[in-house]
Amino acid sequence: SDPEEERFRERIHHMYQESERVQADRQQEQQEYRRHLAEMSRLQKELERAMEEKKEWEKTKKQSIQLKEENFALRADHQQSLERLEHTKQALSNQMALQNSLQREIHSMRGIISTHEDQIQQMQVVLKESEHVRRKLHNTIQELKGNIRVYCRIRPPIPGEEGKPREVFSPLTDETSLQLQCGVKTATGADAVKSHQFQFNRVFPPAATNLEVYEEIAQLVQSSLDGYHVCIFAYGQTGSGKTYTMEGLSKKQCTEDHTRGIIPRAVTQIFEAAQEMDAAGWTFQLTAQFVEIYNEQIRDLLADPERTKLGEKHEVKHEKRSTTITNVKVVPVANPENVYELLEIAFQNRSSAATQCNDHSSRSHSVFTLNITAMNPKTGQQTNGVLNLIDLAGSERLNSSGASGDRMRETQYINKSLSSLSDVISALAAKSPHVPFRNSKLTYLLQTSLGGGSKTLMFVNVSPLAEHANESLCSLRFASKVNNCEIGSARRTIVNTV
């Protein structure tokens, strides 16, 4: 049993060793397993990282492809931009060449224009001088023929007339003619337009200023200093600009150059000319009077209030080419300011009222008279000149003026006196042996001016509005009749005092 036991023990020992070896192998296998697990975990992580890197790479690749595509598109756009830039550069070059060519042409044209402007300016000077000579010769002819000169003035539109139809007058082709367009009814009752042609010594468009108007009559005013009887009167319907032409816009400031009318300008010219002639030994005495004819009664616009209340009568008297009015205040004047003061008094006293034709219609004929006595002791000569400046009351039909009561009575008297003036002109034009000067106070007062021996000029003032076309036509027809009227050559009044 001992050997058995010994073998058993050996076997047990061997089994124990085998068990330890197995245990050791098992531990080794477990370590190997854990190592494999760790390796697998590491590989898993590397795989995951590789997968992430792959995704990132694919993303980068995709972006790279997109960038390549964008870069390709940008290259294409860049190429197109270069082509457009080259085209623009070429166009700009062409434009610069064209601009340089145009600048050369402009420079050349400027030289040509400058030359033409010089030629035009020279021609305008020649034309102006020729026109001045023509007018002077024409006026001389008119004076020799003894015709009454007629100037027509078309007033400009005034505030409040903006929406009213105008264009009654056709554009002026020269400075002496005009054409009036009037609406008429045909035989069938249809509306039509009829043209009327007129020719005068001078026609002033609406844009003409008082200064331009006065420059045309300055020589006529000068004649009164030389001993002639000069008469200038304004005719036309109410609101046609007569008072503005004769007196100006501002009555309180007659010295304002852009508003002064014929009366204040004539006064200034006469006194300036008198001062210049003083150096040649001439001395002057000037007296002024201002009256109006209202309802066929003469009223003194310069009379003292006390004398006005007495109701003094004034009568016209003609003696040896001179006209006087009884009981009228005659005021010596030594300078223009004296006359302006008298004008202001007269403006305040003149009769005026509102009608449908004009808000401030003159209801009388006003007559400003400046008597000029010039003496030269060296030569023993004395001249007696007279300057009559007349603003006639507005011609208007009763149905146009809307007058009633006193206004209607005034209108009737105005129209009667203007009708008498027309009769006188007709008689003079027909060279009738009897001229009805005594039919009205107006014509009787103008007898010396219209009857011969005087230099007479009439302004016919007309409105540009279509609604006044018929009134304008009547005024122009009357003016045309006046223009053809011969009153005889003007005579100078000279007295030898030696």
Q: Judging by beta carbons within 10 Å of its beta carbon (0-12, 13-18, 19+), is residue 470 exposed, middle or buried?
A: middle
Residues 71-115: pLDDT tens digits?
888 888 889 988 888 898 899 889 899 989 989 899 888 889 988
pTM: 0.68
pLDDT over 70 percentage in the chain: 86
Residues 119-162: pLDDT tens digits?
888 887 887 677 567 656 655 665 655 568 899 999 888 877 77
pLDDT score for 361: 45
What is the rounded distance in angstroms from the CA atom of residue 289 to the CA atom of residue 310?
19
Query: How many Å separate Cα 494 from the centre of its chain?
Result: 46
Q: Judging by beta carbons within 10 Å of its beta carbon (0-12, 13-18, 19+), is residue 189 exposed, middle or buried?
A: exposed
For residues 199 and 361, the answer to whether their CB atoms sit within 8 Å is no
**Amino acid identity at 443:** T
User: Which has more pLDDT, 130 or 477?
Assistant: 477
Q: Read off the pLDDT of each residue in 350-373 and give the average, rounded to a whole number.
A: 67
For residues 355 and 313, the answer to whether their CB atoms sit within 8 Å is no
Q: Is the pLDDT of residue 421 over 70?
A: yes
pLDDT score for 148: 83
Q: How would residue 389 be classed by pLDDT, with cut points 50, 70 and 90?
A: very high
Q: How would residue 462 be classed by pLDDT, with cut points 50, 70 and 90?
A: very high
